[in-house]
Structure 1
Amino acid sequence: MTSNEVEVKLIEVLQGIQSDSGYDASHIAGTICPLRDLEGFDSMLWPVAICILASALGVNIPNNNNIFLSNDGKRALTISESAAVVCEMVSKKEDQA
């Protein structure tokens, strides 16, 4: 699985959540930061988005991992950066198997 494939799926997930929430989803691209740029996207929605993404990709993303924040929790990530985080997680799990 490539970072680009994860990014495309993550954008689809976020567009679905935004549409279902009654917000505009047309501007969602890899360069936006969901925690900062998506209306209504907060601590109640990011776990839902991660769960939907994990299911859509057929991977396990641990519950304690917020893919939308840097490891130190100080910087909100773009969609592209979040996709890279997911790929790194999946790669580490495959290496351990």
Structure 2
Amino acid sequence: MAGPLTPEDPIQPGGDAEQAEATVKQVIAWYNARLSAAHRQPDHDQTLVAAWRQGREEAADDFERLQSADQEETVAIAITYAARLKQLRAE
């Protein structure tokens, strides 16, 4: 994954909005994969599953916010979710 975006240096064609959307979608996919795996295990940690659900809901809300976000908010969301994705992948 590429580093955080800045308004002056969009990494992908289409700019920050596409990068932010792609990153948020990756975070949502990470949560979905963990929730799906937990659903198949009868002894899953309910607290962890609840945290994953909340994280997925927040990411979905932020994905929707991207549809009307200005440049500054888009960059902030992209940076936040790039860091979150890195953290989730390290778990």
Normalising by the smaller structure, the TM-score range is 0.3 to 0.5
Structure label with greater radius of gyration: 2
Question: Larger RCO: Structure 1 or Structure 2 (Cα < 8 Å, ≥ 6 residues apart)?
Answer: 2
TM-score (norm 1): 0.34
